[in-house]
Every structure is written in C-alpha cells, then in structure tokens.
Structure 1
Amino acid sequence: MAPRANWKGFLRLSLVTCPVALYPATSESEKVSFNQINRKTGHRIKYSKVDAETGEEVANDDIVKGYKVDTDTYIEVTKEELDEIALESTHTIEIDEFVPRSDIDNRYLIRPYYLVPDGKVGHDAFAVIRETIRSLNKVAIGRIVLTNREHIIALEPLDKGLMGTLLRYPYEVRNEQEYFDDIQDVKITKDMLDLAKHIVEKKSADFEPENFEDHYEAALVELINKKRAGVQITPKAAPKATGNVISLMDALKRSLSNEAAAPGAAEPKAKAKKPKKRIEGQREMLLPISGKKAKEAGKETQKAEEPKKAEKPVRAPARSRKAG
C-alpha cells in the first residue's frame, strides 16, 4: 500500500500552477523497534499527560501551547491564533529562485521527499516545471509549511518526478569555528601522505548503497530469533584492550600491508549481487517458531552455544508476548 502524502497543495512557477502531493522519500518503519514493558507483569507501559503541580491527568481538550517567558510564567497561544498567521506557503510551494546545486552546503540538508502530480489534472504543468529545472541544471528553491512551520525546500528533477529536500535556516547551523579552533596545525610529510593515498586507492569503489549492510539490525533480528526459539543467550567476553603504542608511520605501513594481503586485493572487486527486496514488516523478518526448519535451526544454534550436556531450552516468560 502506498504511503500517505505528508502534504497536498500546489506547485507554482510564476503563473504556471499544478496540484501536487509530497511523500517521504525515506522510511525507518522496517527497523526493529521495542516497546517498554513492566518487567514484573509483562504489560506495556503507557504515559499520561499530568499537571506538573497537581499531579492530575489533563484531558487533551484542556492542553494548549504556551511560550515560557519566566519561571512558571507562560504566554498562551491558541490554535485559532496560529491559524490567523498562516502563510500562503501552507497550501502552495512558490518557486522563488534557482541556484546551482553545488552552492548548497550539505549541513543545510535535512530530509528528502518525493513530489508528484496530485490527481489526473496538472501533469502538463508539472512536466513543464520539471523540465525547466532540468534544462537549467539548477535547483529550484521554494517554501513549504509542514507541521505548522515554514521550511525552505530545494526541488530537483528525479526521473519523472521531483525530489524536494528540506533545508535548514542559517540560525540552525552551528559555526564550525567553535569546534575547530582548538585543532592543532600539524605538518604532514610527503611519505605519510603517499602511504595514506595508497590505502585509499586500495579501498576505492563505486558508491553502491544496495551493498550496505546494517550489522546492528541483523544482530537484533538474530537475538530475537534465538529468544523466540528458546535458545540460552551467552554473554560475549569483552574485547581486551591492546596497549601497544606504535608510530603513525608504522601504522600507515602496517595498514598498507594488511590491505595488500587481504583476499582479492590484487583483483578488482566484483560487483556484488543485489540483495533480495526486503520483506515489509519486521514480523515477517523474524524466524517463525513453528515448523521443522525452524526447530532444526534452533537445535543447531543451541548445540553451538550450550555445553556438551544439553539442557532443556529456557523459554522466554509467556508474558513477553504481550509486549506487541
């Protein structure tokens, strides 16, 4: 099922206007997530909105926004008052200017969205705006209101649609000099730089995000599968810290030797096969606890982690199933 649009309105370039819809270009819903539960009962934890002074729970209708001006002093602002100052960009993305993409500092980038025509009308106007931006080889800068706040959005062609990237305002970007001033000026020798360049060349590759693997996510899935199968979890021994101190030049030389000795270092990296499309929903990712294959997998994992004298698997308490 297609995701819901975050925003619907109009895209306008001077007098050319078309209805559009804005969709999030990224998602974290496929990541393993946890709920907080009561260890004693296995019940899920709920949060209540309470008055900080009286401790009494407050109904949603009685909760309003307030701007803090002093200790325990707030200026109340109602929804109606906020609607009064609503900007035109609440319903329209007005293209104000066109700039080179290289002019946009990466620190100003927030998150990407997909912009598409909304409905059956307006496709011609949308195509005109899209191809105009493409022909200029620039990025269109406009304004949009999301979650009651106005944002700057940079629009650029992506296939048949537009990609819109929210941008930060200057006051949201911290001055790097506050952090970099204390970095010492160090003179690097040519030999060190040459060795470092060789290491970089050994590790150079094409940018292929489909080859990226979320190792922590995989470890989480494996942990949950083991617990569902009733496998005893044995804590890993903490890695021992090494106290060997070597010079920077020695470290560079050893790094280069390690890269040269790595399997396939002398040959160009073969393109990895694209992984299968991930199944939507983390429930499908996890190993079923019924079925012959699941039982065999659980037994093999248990044998590998338990002592020779096998004991009955320790099953998770029944109450943990209530956490969903």
Structure 2
Amino acid sequence: MVTKKAEASDPPKSSSRAIWKGAISFGLVHVPVSLHSATDEQEVDFDWLDKRTMDPVGYKRINKRTGKEIDKDHIVKGVKLEGDTYVVLSDDEIKAAYPKRTQTIAIETFVKATDVSFVYTERPYYLAPEGKADRVYALLREALTEGGVIGIARFVLHNKEHLAALIPAGPALMLGTLRWANEIRSPDALNLPKEGVTANSLKPAELKMALQLIAEMTSAWKPAQFKDDFTSAIRALIQKKAKAGKTATVEPFEEALDLSGSNVIDLSELLRQSLGTKSKRKGGVAEAPAKKATTKKPTPKKAEPAKKIASSANRENRENRAKRAA
C-alpha cells in the first residue's frame, strides 16, 4: 500500500509513547522527563521480493549453526572474546553496572550552539516533563534561551552511551544525539585541495563573484519550504506502474548531469552565468526543469497487484533498528 506523504505544512505529530524515562540533571537540580521520537521517516520503503515468484523475502532470526529460525526470547547479548568464547550480559546486568547513568541525562557543560559543528549531529528527540516537573522544565528551557547556550550531556539509550545536546526549541526541550569525536573519520586520506585563496590560484574576481552569488542565494532558514522531491517522484512512479502494469515508460523528473566532459572548467564564466538568476529560484532553491513531452506510449501488459509493486522505505535501517531493539 502506498501511503500519502505528509505535507511540510502539516508535519506529523510527535509520538506520545515514551522511549526512555529518567531525569535531566545539572548541578543538584533534577528534571524528571520522558524521551520521545522527534522524527518520522517519510521515504519509500522497499520490501524484498523473489523476482521469480514475487513472494516476499522476510527478515528472520536464524541460528547460523543449525539454520533454523529461533524465537526472540531465546536471544541474548554476547561479546566475543578469543576463539568461540563469549561473555553473555543481560539487560539487568548492564543497567546494574551504571545504574545512575541509565536514568539521567547528565549535563556536563554549557556551550554556545554555534560552537557545535553540524558534523557531530545525529538524531533529535523531544523531552517532555514528567510528574510535577513543569516549572523546573520551563526554568531550564528559558535559561538556555536567555543565555544563548545549549547543554552538552551524556545518557544511555538501548544499552549504548550517547553524547547529546540539550536544545531549547520553542515550547520544547530537545535532545539531539551527537557523534563521539573518535567516530568522525579524518579527511587526511582524501586528495583535498589545500586551504587558502593563494594556494589554489583563485582570482580575486572569481572570489568576488562567488561571494556575490552566495549573497544572492542567501535567505532566512524556512525548513517547511524544502520538500523531499525524490521520494515524491518515486511515489508517482509507483502509482504510474501500478496503473499501467508491470512496465511503463519512465519520464525523467529532471535533466541528468553530463559528467563526461573535460575537467578543465571556466570558473569565471560559470559564476558569471549563475549571477542574477535569483528570480528563477524560490527561496534560494532552484526550480526543477520542466519535463520533456513524449509521445511514446507504454506497452500494455497484464496489471500486477499494486501491493506487489508498491510497498513500504529503507529496509536495512528498519532491520538495524529491530536488531537494536531486540
């Protein structure tokens, strides 16, 4: 079944189901809170199918030695040592090792939001006050807003410790998980141009035009004006194929880039042509080229059930989440 994607002007509501419950701690102050998902995946979810029979290919928990499927209740978490030796840890043992850490979002410092590079950001969550914590929740939120800072904290979720940023966002406090510094790979192995204008023989006129083009394309950040056009195009293709049969003529939604040309680029001319095109853009985002007309008609074939053609997005991510939840 193909579900209609929510419009940007009508965002999905946050989940009322709490993922985690505990407290924010800073100094001697504790704010009882619950953690809720702040995102709703909207991309197309492709199911795996056997192309010979169109039968669904499901995800199963298989014992690698016997090849037999096993029940979730029989699965435990083990850390492999040398050879075939494992140390098995239960959820209760893991929680007992750091009981306080699994119950608190411990703020260790406050920093300016601009000091945290987007490179470290991972996933956002909402925090809601629990019990009678409304007043102290509001106090922390307003203090962060007035101070122009965010809290850097650590907490444990799904038996994994996370670094996180506590951020005021309108009436809500949000917790954005951050990547640890040692998880970000160094770019040293990449063949990158050296830093600096002179090191790259950039002409003053080129830099001036680049700055002018950036100024033309700069606007206020309005996230609602950006939509997932790729997913919309895929959904439209699914609907078209469901109506026309297994095969259909695919019309491109945009022109493909020609990457076969020379590597020698007249940078000045490209910048010059780009300037003054703001009127062709909406909010700094270039409009997609109009689709070319075509007279070629799809060859009619026996229609296949839509449920075998269209399905649900990113199966691999869903399976990884299932493994973590197990």
Instruction: Find the structure with the greater CA-based Rg.
Output: 1
Q: CA deviation at 1:319?
A: 7.5
Aligned CA distance change for structure 1 residues 132 and 251 (closer, same or farther; 3 Å): closer
Return the match for 1:245 from 262, 266, 279.
262
Q: Classify the secondary structure of the residue corresponding to 2:114.
A: helix
The question of 1:116 aligning with 2:132 is answered: no
**In 2, Cα distance between equivalents of 1:221 and 1:37:** 18
Aligned CA distance change for structure 1 residues 321 and 214 (closer, same or farther; 3 Å): closer
Q: How does 1:288-303 map to 2 (within 5 A)?
A: none
**In 2, Cα distance between equivalents of 1:192 and 1:113:** 42
Match of 2:273 in 1: 257
1:209-249: per-residue Cα shift (whole Å, max 9, x none)? Answer: 2222322112111111112222551256996957553743x
Match of 1:168 in 2: 179
Q: CA deviation at 1:56?
A: 3.1
1:266-324: per-residue Cα shift (whole Å, max 9, x none)? Answer: xxx6769xxxxxxxxxxxxxxxxxxxxxxxxxxxxxx95417xxx75641258727967
Q: How does 1:21-36 map to 2 (within 5 A)?
A: 21-28=34-41, 30-36=42-48
TM-score where L is the length of structure 2: 0.73
1:17-75: per-residue Cα shift (whole Å, max 9, x none)? Answer: 332122222221x3221211233333322233223233233333332222222343433
TM-score where L is the length of structure 1: 0.73
**In 2, Cα distance between equivalents of 1:137 and 1:320:** 52
Aligned CA distance change for structure 1 residues 242 and 22 (closer, same or farther; 3 Å): closer
The question of 1:306 aligning with 2:297 is answered: yes
Q: Given that residues 198 and 256 in structure 1 are in contact (C-alpha distance below 8 angstroms), is that contact kept between their aligned partners in structure 2?
A: no
Match of 1:67 in 2: 79
Among all aligned residue pairs of Structure 1 and Structure 2, give the percentage whose two residues are the same amino acid: 28
Which runs of 5 or more residues in structure 1 are unaligned?
Answer: 273-302
CA RMSD of aligned residues (A): 3.3
One-letter identity of the residue aligned with 2:170: D
Match of 1:99 in 2: 111
Q: CA deviation at 1:196?
A: 2.6
The alignment covers a number of residue pairs equal to 283
Q: Classify the secondary structure of the residue corresponding to 2:45.
A: coil
Q: Given that residues 219 and 283 in structure 2 are in contact (C-alpha distance below 8 angstroms), is that contact kept between their aligned partners in structure 1?
A: no
Q: How does 1:29-44 map to 2 (within 5 A)?
A: 30-44=42-56
Q: Classify the secondary structure of the residue corresponding to 1:143.
A: strand
Q: Given that residues 62 and 68 in structure 2 are in contact (C-alpha distance below 8 angstroms), is that contact kept between their aligned partners in structure 1?
A: yes
Which runs of 5 or more residues in structure 2 are unaligned?
Answer: 1-12, 285-293, 313-326
Return the match for 1:130 from 134, 141, 157.
141
**In 1, Cα distance between equivalents of 2:309 and 2:262:** 50
Aligned CA distance change for structure 1 residues 6 and 257 (closer, same or farther; 3 Å): same
Q: Given that residues 10 and 18 in structure 1 are in contact (C-alpha distance below 8 angstroms), is that contact kept between their aligned partners in structure 2?
A: yes
